[in-house]
Amino acid sequence: MAGCALSYQFVDDHAPAARTKRISENATNVAGTLDVSALEPDVRYLASPELRGRLRGTEGNARARAYIIASLQSAGLAPAFGDSFEQPTYPDGPGTRPYAVNVGAIYRAPDRDASWVVLVAHYDHRGVIGGAVHAGADDNASSVALLLALGHALGRVRPVLRRHVVLLFADAEEPPDVRTERMGSSWFWRNPPLPAHRLHLALVFDLMGGRASPELGAAGLGNALFVLGAEADPSLAALVRDLAPAPQVEPVRLSLPMIEVMPYRPGSRFARSDYHGLRKHVRRPFLFLTTGRTETYHTSADTPDTVDYDRLGATARWVTRLAVHASDVEEDLGWHDLRADARADARSILRLYGAIDASQRVSWLLRRALAADRRQVERLLESWEQGVSPTPDTYRSLLLASIRVQAALWHPSGWWFALW
């Protein structure tokens, strides 16, 4: 295969208009009681200088863990791991010291043998680097705060759900553990608290509170919530479509390959968060949700003052509706690996070029390369919409264009990407 590309099956799920699924009443009720005022205090504690970046194995990480457990207990949720909220991990084998410690709680359905939904947000971050605290407010205290608010809403309403809901706060997600068996989530997927074959859906959250750049706002993407993984089955795409966009929340579909292509190495893909071990070991339906990287990503500037709390609150309400709806609907969900919706990806990538147009920070060399990319993407989408099927070669062209425009928006001064 040209370029040694991965062999994707190309799907086209351009929103059939026939589905008029009613949102679960429980979803509406739980989302309606969500206390968004708790989000900022949670982020500010977890990303405070005293916790020193919550690096795995440190005192700051342990303090964050204790804070999360206390919140889950006050919400009235049960421990997920027998009588414990903690799940030590032993990737080096039995008899060794725990490498990391996951935190988990469960809200139980009446049927003991029901299937389950799991909501995942890693709580660790990068610690202190070069003497500077990397506080990790967006990455990933924002997602932790979101899940805690959701857990408290479940505890207040106590809805009768079709499925159990597990909240997992995974440890050891950051480098050097990411995409390895040493991730806390990798241990969880191999040692789940409920039968893996009964997992209905995983929702994985990362970077949920970033403040959109002025350029993205000018391109109409200031409220974008990127939803990845729905290309794996029409049932997943339909589940997302069940929920209409809400004020300050616009779900934007992307296929996972669009973010897994960096760094580019033909024939490889790089999972971006805690779904890595799920896809490898469990192979059950999942969605990855993120508001995307900002320029503070993995820097000491990722502090609580950079989080957009109004946007985080709106996103938390939308996510709560999605999670409870998924826990309550009758339909089964499917999942197939190595799928991509090339047409949807091209449409979303073309929207990103609007942010380039609005930017005054992109160098002329990079701007020229991006303009050529944009014309190429427009030609690809036009041909696909006229009935020409995507191929590995044409999709590779889209992936390479995606690398460049994402890198330009993340680091606008990065002119060297024009030479890719």
Question: 267-317 pLDDT, tens per residue?
Answer: 889 999 999 999 999 999 999 999 999 989 999 999 999 999 999 999 999
- Determine if the peptide bond prior to 94 is cis (ω within 30°): no
CATH number for the domain harbouring residue 230? 3.40.630.10
Question: 40-77 pLDDT, tens per residue?
Answer: 999 999 999 999 999 999 999 999 999 999 999 999 99
174, burial (CB in 10 Å: exposed 0-12, middle 13-18, buried 19+): buried
Same-domain status, 36 and 163: yes
Query: How far is Cα 318 from Cα 248, in angstroms, rounded to an integer?
Result: 10
Domain edge (last residue) among 281, 314, 340: 340
Same-domain status, 320 and 371: no
Same-domain status, 269 and 322: yes
Residue 311 lies in a domain: yes
Query: How far is Cα 151 from Cα 173, in angstroms, rounded to an integer?
Result: 22
Same-domain status, 377 and 397: yes
Q: Is residue 1 over pLDDT 80? A: no
Nearest to 208 by CA among 194, 225, 222: 225
Residue 6 lies in a domain: no
Same-domain status, 217 and 236: yes
Same-domain status, 257 and 310: yes
Same-domain status, 351 and 307: no
Only one residue has tokens 């008899």, namely 95
Nearest to 373 by CA among 417, 316, 327: 417
Domain edge (last residue) among 340, 366, 389: 340
Residue 69 lies in a domain: yes
**Secondary structure (3-state) at 222:** coil
Residue 306 structural domain? 16-340
Q: Torsion-angle region of residue 260: left (phi > 0), alpha (psi -120 to 50) or beta?
A: alpha
Q: Is residue 244 over pLDDT 90? A: no
pLDDT band at 413 (very low <50, low <70, confident <90, very high): low
Instruction: Report which of residues 367 and 99 the model is more confident about.
Output: 99
Phi then psi for residue 152, to 5 deg, are: -65, -35
Residue pair 286/229 in contact (Cβ under 8 Å)? The answer is yes
> If you ran DSSP here, which 8-state letter would residue 293 be given?
-
Residue 10 lies in a domain: no
Question: 335-393 pLDDT, tens per residue?
Answer: 999 999 999 999 999 999 999 888 888 887 888 889 999 999 999 999 999 999 999 99
Query: How far is Cα 310 from Cα 318, in angstroms, rounded to an integer?
Result: 13
Query: How far is Cα 213 from Cα 360, in angstroms, rounded to an integer?
Result: 12
Residue 147 lies in a domain: yes
Domain edge (last residue) among 321, 340, 359: 340
Residue 149 lies in a domain: yes
- Determine if the peptide bond prior to 26 is cis (ω within 30°): no
Same-domain status, 172 and 262: yes
- Determine how β-strand 199-205 pairs with β-strand 224-228: unpaired
Same-domain status, 335 and 390: no
Residue 173 lies in a domain: yes
- Choice among 12-21, 156-165, 283-292, 294-303 with the minimum mean pLDDT: 12-21
Q: Which two tokens stand for residue 27?
A: 């979803």
What pTM was computed for the model? Answer: 0.95
Average pLDDT over residues 258-274: 87
Question: 212-242 pLDDT, tens per residue?
Answer: 999 999 999 999 999 999 999 999 999 999 9
Q: Is residue 19 over pLDDT 70? A: no
Same-domain status, 173 and 140: yes
Q: Is residue 4 over pLDDT 50? A: no
pLDDT band at 2 (very low <50, low <70, confident <90, very high): very low
pLDDT of residue 412: 64
> For the chain, how many structural domains are there in total?
2
pLDDT of residue 16: 54
Helical H segments across 141-297, by residue range: 142-157, 184-190, 214-218, 234-242, 257-260, 276-277
Same-domain status, 62 and 203: yes
Residue 162 lies in a domain: yes
Same-domain status, 293 and 387: no
